[in-house]
Amino acid sequence: MRPVLTIARLTILEASRRRLLLALGVLTVVVIVLTSWGFSRLPTMSGVTPAEVRLASSQLTILVAFMFSGVLALGSTLVAAPSIASDIESGIALAILPRPIRRSQLLMGKWLGLALLVTVYAAGSGLLELLGIWLATGYTPPNPIAALTFVAAEGIVLMTLTLLLSTRLAPMTGGVIALVLFFVGWIGGIALAIGTGFDNETIKNIGTGSRLLIPTDALWHGAIFYLEPPDFLALARAGGRGARAGNPFFADAPLPGIYLAWVVGWLAAIVGLANWSFAKRDL
């Protein structure tokens, strides 16, 4: 376990020394200040009622969360894609791996370090943004902790997939493939919503298949659900399925337990596959 922690610490230290954390932190604070200022304008608009401010705040909160989840997904891909591949290409891994450290320990150390970075960023940026929104409008989503957990899980899922690709592919190739899969998953989620709205089994199956293969969009919808106020949910449900068909910013139910179990299994399988792939590779 000690080598895993050593590599995890090294991964976090590298992100810090290369000023990734500083750059991300400064930009995030700037974005939070700007969006909070924007939220603070809502109650000052002429003729709006507190209920309308609350409704608008809830929808804008989901949009802002989408932006942060996107930053997190893209960021975790960019950081994970070179994590193993670059160390092999540059020769850094050739110096480390003849030490008494298993390849699985190196990989899991990288995974742990990156997962911590993703979690800390999701929690830090999310809580700060929600604090800004609350100060500006008085609005707080119904379950922010659950929502942020799903956003972090989305980042970890994509990071893990990219790490698997990084054990065999060049950083650029692995990163591009991971991003393509991420967007395919997003489109698959929209297909599922359209298929459900119009009761089209074929489109629904395509959407379900994409959710099983790439769980990022499903986790994003898991986050959305906990950001939607109950009265908004009731209103949307009353509008019928067709009215919300294809809306990527709406979720009418939490993710079922069986699907969450699938995601945990998927994650374990990808981690296992990454370890197997790295262990079998000649360096």
Partner 1 sequence: MEAADAASLAVHTQDLAKRYGKTVALSGLTMSVRRAEVFGFLGPNGAGKTTAVKLLVGLALPTAGQGWVLGAPIGDLETRRRLGYLPELFRYQGWMKAREVLGLHCELSGMGRSEWRKEIELALQIVGLTDRADDKVEGFSKGMQQRLGLGVALLGRPELVLLDEPTSALDPVGRHDVREIIRTLKARGTAVFLNSHLLSEVEQVCDRLAVVDHGRVIATGTMAQILGQDGAVRVRVTGLPADGRAGLGEFGNLEDEGEWLTFRGLSTDRVPQLVAEIVRQGGRVYAVEPRHETLEDRFLQLLKEQDS
- Which residues are at the interface with partner 1 (CB under 8 A)? 2-3, 6, 10, 14, 17-18, 90-92, 94-102, 280, 282-283
For partner 1, the closer CB: 18 or 41: 18
**Token reading at 66:** 């989408």
For partner 1, the closer CB: 18 or 237: 18
For partner 1, the closer CB: 98 or 239: 98
Give the nearest distance from C-beta 279 to partner 1 in angstroms.
9
Give the nearest distance from C-beta 92 to partner 1 in angstroms.
5
Do residues 57 and 133 make contact, with C-beta atoms less than 8 angstroms apart?
Answer: yes
Q: Is 246 helix (H, G, I), strand (E, B) or coil?
A: coil
Give the nearest distance from C-beta 58 to partner 1 in angstroms.
43
How far, in Å, CA of 88 to CA of 3, rounded?
18
Q: Of the candidates 24, 3, 10, which has an alpha carbon nearest to the alpha carbon of residue 113?
A: 10
Give the nearest distance from C-beta 95 to partner 1 in angstroms.
6
Give the nearest distance from C-beta 10 to partner 1 in angstroms.
7
Q: What value, to the nearest 5°, has the Cα angle with vertex 161 and ends 160 and 162? A: 90
| Alpha-carbon distances, residue 54 vs 99, 178, 283 (angstroms) | 58, 36, 57
For partner 1, the closer CB: 59 or 86: 86
Cα radius of gyration rounded to whole Å, the chain? 20
